[in-house]
Chain A
Amino acid sequence: MIRDLRVLKAVMIKDLKHYYRYPSGTLFLFIVPFLFTFLLSTMGSFVGGTLAKEYFYLRTGVENFFLYQILGTNIWIMAWVILEDIGTSIRNEQIKGTLEQNFLVPINKFFFLLGLSFAHTLLALLSFIVVVGSSLALVDLESLPRLFPSSLILLLGLIPLFGLGFVFSSLVIHLKEPYSFTHLINTFFSVVAGTYYPVHILPYWVQWISYSIPHTYLIDEMRKIIFSNQLVVELYGNTIILLSMGIIYMILGLRLFRFFERRARINGGLSKF
């Protein structure tokens, strides 16, 4: 067990070092949300003209559309990065030829993956606090304390996201060139999760998909906490769903990962690229 923990630490540190060495990758998580939100807000103001703010309030019940959008952007990008990075990190090792080395050591794959996720948990939390926290502090100081309960929800929401990340990374081992696929799915998730709008404006059948991915619940619960000042306990419905999704996606992800890893061993695809 202790040995496993050491593995976990080693993998995590390796990944964090990577972020430290290539700081522009990390910068990305902190700057891009602002830029993207700025782009969207300006588009919104342009389209709505002088009444943009009023229209937006009528539709969403939220006065400050910048805050509304930056919350969406932050979660969207975070989820995107998690889903893609776990796979990418494996893929990069595949290209550089170090993946096989990682598979040569007698470790439990679960810890290997978990180590990767921990590194990302740290980053995700940090970026949430910096991006959403600073926006709240600037725009609506009163609601800043709500950052704390929403961070807790974030941590909970990360679990199913990691599960999905594992599903993706198992596909990497299988498909080799996964970016096209992750890109597509991530785009799709962003649209159906109601990143910038309430899910109910989507067609009915699309909402079915919306409600089967964690993003939707995560965003929804965050909005309720931050904009309507609801308490986490009041939102137990969402919380329970996130929790069970966490369990389901985790198990699914690990299963698939093991499955594809075995297949790769059988057809010798571990080092191919």
Chain B
Amino acid sequence: MKPLVVKELTKIFELREGNIFSKRKREIYAVRDVSFDVDNGEILGLLGPNGAGKTTLIKMLCTLIEPTKGEAYIKGYSITKEAQKVKQNLGVMLTGERALYWKLTGRENLEYFAALYHLDPSWTKSRIDELLELLGLKDRENTLVENYSTGMRIRLNFAKALLNDAPVLLFDEPTMSLDPQSSRLIRSLIKELRDKGKTIILTTHYMEEADQLSDKVAIINYGRIVALAKPSELKVKVNKSKVIEIEGRGFERLEELNIKGIMKVDYKDSLLKVYTEDSRELLPKLLEFLIGKGVQVSNIKLPEPSLEDVFIELTGRTLRD
């Protein structure tokens, strides 16, 4: 069994709306029938617009929310039946900076949680030192967290997630509100963790982050997984559409351009953009036609679709709308 297996996980929130006199019940399907698994040394990126259900999914996996239906196994332990075992095998970082005691110092926070995770006392100190060092917090370890910057708090929160050296790691937007440098640090740490064989899920809003880090990307929309594959495979999926860009001279000689498959043509000075359903199929015909008309072609581009294109195509939404 893979270290993380999710089977038809569903969460329906029941809300009561209105005032004391008229209450209506409303059901919100935050996560619907989600299934996937993640292997050792693999990162799954969860990508989805706001309210897609990413956080709910993560919280179900770490037992903070009880699923309405379905099951998931962390290292073979059921999240609904063996909560303590599950937690022992998890390192979790939830969104935000409120996860720590602001009135304790950075080190005290880690010491506290180390005890709660039953770290061997003889190991605790060196582990904490190591993590503080790793995240560049060593010289501020004795500062109260309330005097940390947001970025420092998030880094400390990250360190907290690594404390128990768990085999499965869940990160909910780990690089939110971090500067490029800290983000890079976190990303490279996540990669290192993967290389050490950890099983990782991370949610993110940043396309390049998902693209760079993930071995698999799951695009989630209205609680459903609408696509799940390697980033490169996902891109191939949308490769059929899109654009052909041709640089050259003599476009003004073209009166019309009606080859089967062309949807729209734009041209400006020396750049011609042809929109089509399937650029690879069209390209040879197009070139033949252009050359036949005496156009001098100097450059041809088939822009790679970005993950963003994939995302928009699949969800019909941009990431933050």
Contact = CB atoms under 8 A, between A and B. Distances in A.
Interface of A: 272-273
B113 interface: no
Contacts of A272: 146
Contacts of B102: 273
Interface of B: 102, 146
Nearest to A271: B146
A272 B144 CA distance: 12
A272 B146 CA distance: 7
Nearest to B102: A273
A273 B103 CA distance: 9
A272 B102 CA distance: 9
A273 B146 CA distance: 7
Nearest to A268: B147
A139 B139 CA distance: 70
Nearest to B146: A272
Contacts, number: 3
Contacts of B146: 272-273
A207 to B, nearest CB: 40
A25 to B, nearest CB: 15
Nearest to B20: A23
Contacts of A273: 102, 146
A99 to B, nearest CB: 15
A273 B100 CA distance: 13
A78 B116 CA distance: 43
3 contacts: A272-B146, A273-B102, A273-B146
Nearest to B144: A272
A159 B146 CA distance: 36
Nearest 3 interchain pairs by C-beta:
A272-B146, A273-B102, A273-B146
B230 to A, nearest CB: 39
Nearest to B98: A97
A264 to B, nearest CB: 14
B177 to A, nearest CB: 14
A139 to B, nearest CB: 33
A180 B102 CA distance: 19
A266 to B, nearest CB: 16
A273 B102 CA distance: 8
Nearest to B147: A272
A29 to B, nearest CB: 19
A20 to B, nearest CB: 9
B307 to A, nearest CB: 32
A83 B102 CA distance: 27
A61 to B, nearest CB: 46
Nearest to A177: B103
A235 B195 CA distance: 84
A273 B144 CA distance: 11
A181 B146 CA distance: 21
A36 to B, nearest CB: 27
A241 B102 CA distance: 45
